[in-house]
Amino acid sequence: MTDGNGLPMGALLTAGQRHEAPFFADVMNQVRVPRATGRPRKRPEAVAGDRAYDSEENRRWCWRRNIESIIPARNGMHTGPGRPPTCDEEKYEQRNVIERLVGRLKERRRVATRYEKKASHYKAMLQWAFVGEYLKR
């Protein structure tokens, strides 16, 4: 997960063969953004994702928390009654921020090629890469 400026905010480690869409809510619940006063912010204004994140569960999760979901509908998935979900195209163009962050993280060989056997060690390397991203800015 990243913010709108391309700074990493959190990550969730899963098995390599698993799809990331079922873990959408877990990653979103993991992040807390501190404020100057008051409790940390847990709810973003909008969430952008590619077509792979288009599921009723993910859309319902966003709707319950009053978060705008900027996820385009998959082709042929919403054929039932009611209108298909919409996606703001201008906001969706900003989704490439996460793709650029992943590209920058994979410039580090230990993140791109997982050398560590334990997941906890790999997550430490990933967090180390996050620190590097913050220090660059």
In tens, the pLDDT along 66-84 reads: 999 898 888 776 666 666 6
Interacting residues of 110 by C-beta distance below 8 A, sequence separation 6+: 116, 125
Tell me what percent of the residues of the chain surpass a pLDDT of 90. Answer: 27
pTM: 0.78
Lowest mean pLDDT segment, chosen from 52-56, 75-79, 105-109: 75-79
Interacting residues of 72 by C-beta distance below 8 A, sequence separation 6+: 50, 51, 54, 87, 92
Q: What is the pLDDT of residue 32?
A: 86
Q: 49 exposed, middle or buried (CB, 10 Å; 0-12, 13-18, 19+)?
A: buried
7 neighbors 137 (Cβ within 8 angstroms): yes
Q: What is the pLDDT of residue 122?
A: 92
Q: What is the pLDDT of residue 105?
A: 92
Closest CA relative to residue 72, chosen from 62, 63, 61, 85: 85
